[in-house]
Amino acid sequence: MRGNIECDFPVDFDTTVILGQLAQVLDPELDESIVDLGFVRSVRLHSDHADVTLQLPTSWCAVNFAYLMAEDVRHALLKVEGVRHATIRLGDHCAAREIEAAVNNGQSFAEAFPEEGAGSLAALRLTFLRKGFFIRQERLLRELRVAGCAPPVICALRLGEISIEDDLTMIRQPGAAPQKGGRAATLRCYLQRRAELGLDCCDDAQLIIDFEGKPFSADRLQAHYEAARTMRVALEANGSFCRALVSLRHFFDASSSRQKPEERETCTVRTDTISS
């Protein structure tokens, strides 16, 4: 989706820095980069002023999440060296004017939408950070199962016993031969969210824990996996719906294209995370 972003930068500017920062911004519900989702429409930089236009899948996308994404984009841009001002636009979103006015002036959601209650937004964000944690964990569990790890082994595994070697993870437990675990990226994603949630990341901590840091017993692991699996399916299905909608918007805007919308969108099912 990066190819669809309209860019306008000074000739000597390293664009990867700004695009890299934007790629760090996630849709809070979909737990995916807004760049990969196709939500970034254009990025412009004139002297020290960055200007980003987002295009969400519909003009009705949740205002609270739209606000969070716009705010996160602004913070991401202001981290880039040489950027001192940032303006975020939300295209034809139904609350574009209110959100833009608030975010671009550094107002919080609570200040911009006092009648909506700020506490519930923070709680909602935490709910989705936790859901994302379980979904990232489900992908890890799936790979461990494919690698042949039995539930008691998975539950006993400590962070210090799984390491990253090239693109893969290796498991080394006392008294057992080393074995491959799964993809390094899956583990990194999981550990990143684990740290964001303030959970124990010491070598001695168990690899698979709930969002309060408690490990699972082997007999509870299956039920936990089944629940996390449903969360993952809900999230990935929603993500694919949003992608289909946003790619349609790009299609209608790109009047020169003769392809049909469904042919144009190239994103396919993430077989890497769903094949068993």
Partner 1 sequence: MYRQDGHDIFVIDGHMHCWDANPENWKSKYGESWIRCFFAYHSALSPAEAVWPFEKFCRYGDETLVDDLFRTGYVDMAILNSTYLYEFYNNGFNSHIQNNVVKAKYPERFLLCGSFDPRDEEAGIEAFQRMMADYPIQGLKLYTAEWRNGSRGWRLNDPWAYKYLELAQAAGIKNIHVHKGPTVYPLSADAFDVHDVDYAATDFPELNFIVEHVGLPRLDDFCWIAAQESNVYAGLSVAMAFVHLRPRYFGEIIANLLFWLGPDKLCFGSDYAIWSPKWLIEKFMAFELPDDLKQEYHADLTLETKRKILGENTARLYGIDIEAQLAKLQRDGIAIGG
- The residues binding partner 1 (CB under 8 A) are 29, 57-60, 62-64, 92, 94-95, 109, 113, 116-118, 120-121, 124, 131, 226-227, 229-231, 233-238, 240-241, 244-245, 247-249, 260-262, 269, 271, 274-276
134 versus 190: smaller Cβ distance to partner 1: 134
Q: How many CA atoms lie within 13 A of 87 on its CB side?
A: 11
35, two tokens: 């760049």
Name the residue nearer to partner 1 (CB basis): 92 or 200: 92
- Among residues 153 and 245, whose Cβ is nearest to partner 1? 245
Residue 238 C-beta: closest distance to partner 1, Å: 4
Question: What is the distance between the alpha carbons of residues 164 and 190, in angstroms, rounded to a whole number?
Answer: 13
Q: CA–CA separation, 46 vs 241, rounded Å?
A: 34
Please say which residue, 76 or 235, places its beta carbon nearer to partner 1.
235
CA-CA distance, 169 to 148, in Å (whole number)? Answer: 14
Q: Tell me the closest approach of the beta carbon of residue 94 to partner 1, in angstroms.
A: 6
Q: Which is nearest to 135 in space by CA: 262, 230, 223? A: 230
Q: Compute the least distance from the CB of residue 156 to partner 1, in Å.
A: 24
Query: Shortest distance, CB of residue 20 to partner 1, whole angstroms?
Result: 28
61: Cβ–Cβ under 8 A, 6 or more apart, which residues?
93
